[in-house]
Amino acid sequence: MRSPTSPDAIPSAARTRVRRFTLAATALGSALAFIDTTVVVVALPTIERDLELGLTGQQWVVLSYSIALAGFYLVAGAAGDRFGRRRMFVWGIAGFAAASALAGVAPNEGVLVLARALQGVAGAFLTTNSLALLRATYGRDAGRAIGLWTALTGAAIIAGPPIGGALVEWASWRWIFFINLPIAAVTLALIAACPEPKATSGERRGFDLLGALLAACGFGFLAFGLVQGQESGFAQVTWALILGVVALIAFPFVERRARNPMLPAALFSRPAFVGANVETFFVYGALGGFVFFFSIFLQFLGFSAFEAGLANLPMGIIIIALSPFLGRRADSRGPRGLLTIGPLLVAAGMALMLGIDERSDFWTFGVPGLLVMALGLAYVVAPITSTALASASADLSGIAAGVNQTVSRVGNLVAVVIAGLIVTLVFQHVTGDSEAVPLRLGETSDSLRNGSVDAFRAALGVCIAFALVAALVATRMLPRGPIKAAEPGS
- DSSP for 64-89, written as a single string: HHHHHHHHHHHHHHHHHHHH-HHHHH
Residue 64 has a pLDDT of: 84
Residue 202 has a pLDDT of: 39
Residue 351 has a pLDDT of: 97
Distance from the Cα of residue 230 to its chain's centroid: 23
Q: Give the chain's end-to-end CA distance (angstroms, integer).
A: 29
**22 SS3 class:** helix
Phi-psi category of residue 302: left, alpha or beta, with phi > 0 → left and psi -120 to 50 → alpha: left
Q: What pTM was estimated for this model as a whole?
A: 0.72
User: pLDDT tens digits for 193-242?
Assistant: 777 665 544 345 556 667 777 877 887 787 778 767 766 777 888 898 89
Exposure letters 251-274 (e unless 16+ CB within 10 A, then b): beebbeebeebbbbebbeebebbb
Task: Report in angstroms the alpha-carbon separations of 321 from 37, 150, 324.
Answer: 22, 10, 7
Residue 8 has a pLDDT of: 47
Exposure letters 437-465 (e unless 16+ CB within 10 A, then b): bbbbeebeeeebbebbbbbbbbbbbbbbb
Q: What is the dihedral of CA 253, 256, 262, 265, to 10 degrees?
A: 110
Cβ neighbours of residue 93 under 8 Å, at least 6 residues apart?
A: 29, 32, 122, 126, 184, 187, 188, 191
The secondary structure of residue 490, as a DSSP letter, is -
- DSSP for 95-128, written as a single string: HHHHHHHHHHT--SHHHHHHHHHHHHHHHHHHHH
CB 249 within 8 A of CB 215: no
CB neighbour class for 354 (10 Å; exposed up to 12, middle 13-18, buried from 19): middle
Residue 212 has a pLDDT of: 72
Residue 110 φ/ψ, nearest 5 degrees: -60, -45
Angle (nearest 5°) at CA 88 between 85 and 90: 110
pLDDT by position in tens, the chain (length 490): 444 554 444 446 666 777 778 888 888 888 887 777 777 877 888 888 888 777 677 778 877 887 787 778 777 877 887 778 888 899 999 999 999 999 999 988 889 999 999 999 998 898 888 877 877 777 666 666 776 776 666 666 666 677 777 888 888 889 889 989 998 999 998 888 777 665 544 345 556 667 777 877 887 787 778 767 766 777 888 898 899 889 888 888 887 787 777 677 777 778 888 899 999 999 989 988 898 888 889 989 988 877 877 777 777 778 777 877 776 777 677 788 899 999 999 999 999 999 999 889 999 999 999 999 989 988 988 788 778 877 777 666 667 777 787 788 778 878 888 898 899 889 999 998 877 878 887 778 888 999 999 999 999 999 999 999 999 999 998 887 776 655 555 4
Residue 142 has a pLDDT of: 66
Distance from the Cα of residue 339 to its chain's centroid: 18
User: pLDDT tens digits for 250-262?
Assistant: 888 887 787 777 6
